[in-house]
Amino acid sequence: MIATAKSPTAGSQPTGLQAAGSAPSSTATAHIDTFARDNLPPRDLWPAFIFTRPELQYPARINCVAHFLDRWVAQGRGDAPCILSLEANYTYRELQALVNRIANVLVNDLGLVTGGRVLLRSANNPMMVATYLAVLKAGGVVVATMPLLRAKELVYPIQKAKISIALCDGKLRDEMEKARAQTDELKHVVYWGTGAEDSLEALTAKASAAFTAVDTAADDVCLIAFTSGTTGDPKGTMHFHRDMLAVCDSFAGNILRARPEDRFISSAPLAFTFGFGGVLFPMHIGASFVVLEKVAPDDLLNAIARFKATVCFTAPTAYRAMLAKYAEHDMSSLRKCVSAGETLPKGTYEAWLKTTGIRIIDGIGATEMLHIFISAREEDIRPGATGKPVPGYEAKIVDDDGHDLPPGSMGRLAVRGPTGCRYLADERQKKFVQNGWNLTGDTYVMDADGYYWYQSRSDDMIVSAGYNIAGPDVEAALLTHDAVAECGVVGAPDEARGMIVKAYVVLRPGVTGDAALVTALQDHVKREIAPYKYPRAIVFVAQLPKTQTGKLKRFTLRQMAQAGDMPPPSSTAAG
């Protein structure tokens, strides 16, 4: 069956700089389920958007999958390689057929209507890519989740986004079923890789390989990406079909400058918007990409050599780790490297350049912005600096009151461009967007030449080996252990991972803090929340530094972590 949507009358697509609090005029939505559109922030709380560059002029109606996938088949390039993996390879034509079959299953078997949300749960593999594209092609809204999340962490997005359908790798069934039991929202959960009669593969085998992309508006929501959560609950960031093209035409087109013959490889999970760039960017130009379920540095080295990858996306910690065994592999195909997820140390950049001759392209992005918005081409890189605003974006440094600061001043990073923050029904929109600018939560310095130099996170986020970890999440998990009376969690410097999660713990009376308890607490956190969030260092203290009103002084804990646990003279911390 070919599923289509009637085309509403297309409206005009405004160009240029939209004033703060406004956005390009919307055309008639293709969404029958209007939950996502109805829960966008009020227009006066949106950031300003910029569409002045010619490559950022988009028609009023876009289904991004028609652009990323269908057009290559229509242009006679269907037999070109698209996905490569250790399990299976797909040409553009083969991927299109699989995506179409899944879209038909979603619509005809599971009752997906346009605008409906679909939760995806898997490690990086071809089926994860296909399900992602199928939801978008069918006019649905993707909510992709990290494979390491526990049931209690899955329930929140399911309930917040009112998700009724989930597609999940069978290897992750246990936590998915636990989450399903804790909410009434989910009506359908379909697994793949199980061999069961009701598996996704069995359903797709019966489905048609023909499906016409739903005629969505350029500003129809197609993705709700949940943040890791800095304080409190994660935030659902909402992105449009147009946004998917905008990050390709801004960063990938102007900074990365890849070619159709390139072969991309990435270690970032597809559930991260940074990771999904490793799919969008190659498909935007008709190139191919490698997907790996295991992405440790050794796995990445092996895969680069095996698949002759030319463009690599990973975190600085992975680049550091790969240096030790780089000479043991054939890396001759590699020609471009991109780093994000945490700041790229100058030493790592220089060591990689010396060993490989490749200049790592650093960049800062945000889930709220979808992808990288400050970076530099290889020939313009200044080691240690993140770079300049990506063409299509503007940036500046502001003080706590939002006033512009001159070059050389440390302050908050503000940015705007063709993408921007739109939280799902969340009062925190007012904090991230102010005066038409997105405030990323990062502290930066801009030099006299317009280069931006990272200083630190402005909030309590810990960036460890490319993963964003919210200190309060780890604190909440520790506090569920009977031995813990109080705790504070911050990031501590670490040569290998950039930062590690470090916990300062006050024990309940009668409990002895020893190595066995450290291990027990670490194992407890791994059971409560995603294992990568566990505290790699735990220090037992008699009391935590607090303000006169009883609030935890995280700044003091950070000072202690920097100083090797020696409390500053004014601190009340002990131990």
Written as six digits, the tokens of 269 are 């999970």
pLDDT at 531 over 60: yes
Q: What percent of the chain has pLDDT over 70?
A: 92
pTM score: 0.84
- Tell me: the pLDDT tens digits for 421-443? 999 999 999 999 999 999 999 98
Q: What pLDDT score does 371 carry? A: 97
For residue 27, the number of C-alpha atoms closer than 13 Å in the C-beta half-sphere is 23
- Tell me: the pLDDT tens digits for 102-151? 999 999 999 999 999 999 999 999 999 999 999 999 999 999 999 989 99
Backbone angles phi, psi at 223, to 5 degrees: -145, 130
Encoded amino acid at 25, one letter: S
**DSSP three-state, residue 10:** coil
What sections of 362-442 are H helices per DSSP?
A: 429-432
Cβ neighbours, 10 Å, residue 427: 9
DSSP per-residue codes, 45-108: GSPPBEE-SGGG---SB--HHIIIIIHHHHTT-TTSEEEE-SS--EEHHHHHHHHHHHHHIIII
Q: What pLDDT score does 415 carry? A: 98
User: Domain 461-562 - what CATH class?
Assistant: alpha beta
Q: What pLDDT score does 3 carry? A: 38
102 with 204: CB under 8 angstroms? yes
- Tell me: the pLDDT tens digits for 253-278? 999 999 999 999 999 999 999 999 99
pLDDT at 568 over 70: no
Q: What percent of the chain has pLDDT over 90?
A: 79
> What is the separation of C-alpha 192 from the centre of its chain, rounded to a whole number of angstroms?
23
Residue range 352-366: mean pLDDT, rounded: 96
Residue position matching structure tokens 């040409």: 91
- Tell me: the pLDDT tens digits for 432-473? 999 999 999 998 999 999 999 988 777 667 888 888 787 878
Cβ neighbours, 10 Å, residue 480: 12
Cβ neighbours, 10 Å, residue 142: 23
Q: How many residues does the chain have?
A: 575
- Torsion (CA) 375, 378, 380, 382 in degrees, nearest 10: 70
Q: Is 555 exposed, middle or buried (0-12, 13-18, 19+ CB in 10 A)?
A: exposed
Residue range 373-399: mean pLDDT, rounded: 97
> What is the separation of C-alpha 528 from the centre of its chain, rounded to a whole number of angstroms?
22
- Tell me: the pLDDT tens digits for 70-90? 999 999 999 999 999 999 999
Residue range 51-65: mean pLDDT, rounded: 97
The residue extents of the domains of the chain are 461-562
Q: What pLDDT score does 229 carry? A: 55
| CA 421/CA 424 separation, integer angstroms | 10
- Tell me: the pLDDT tens digits for 205-233? 999 999 999 999 999 999 999 987 544 68
| CA 198/CA 202 separation, integer angstroms | 6
Q: What pLDDT score does 553 carry? A: 84
**pLDDT-based confidence at 547, cuts 50/70/90?**
low
| CA 10/CA 223 separation, integer angstroms | 22
Q: What pLDDT score does 550 carry? A: 64
